[in-house]
Amino acid sequence: MSVREAGRRGGERVKAKYGPEFYEAIGRKGGQSTKKKYGAAFYESIGQKGGQTPKARRDAVETATAARESKPE
């Protein structure tokens, strides 16, 4: 049995024992913990990256950085 197969089977067992709500609960707890650790801005940045290709993300970061650096204070 491969590691992937073992993980899949283990996940199915947990799902059968605790139900899909269990996964929702642990996902919610993880999200709350991440928000507490990194702040809401972290999730905002993830949302802005969503759906972009890696090259588009790099270009967007470079453009934003250049715009910030060229602003007079």
Structure confidence at residue 72 as a pLDDT band (50, 70, 90)? low
Which structural domain, as residue segments, surrounds residue 8?
3-70
pTM for the predicted model, two decimal places: 0.50
pLDDT tens-digit profile of 11-47? 999 999 999 899 999 999 999 999 999 998 888 888 8
Assess contact for 64 and 57: CB atoms under 8 A. no
Structural domains of the chain, count: 1
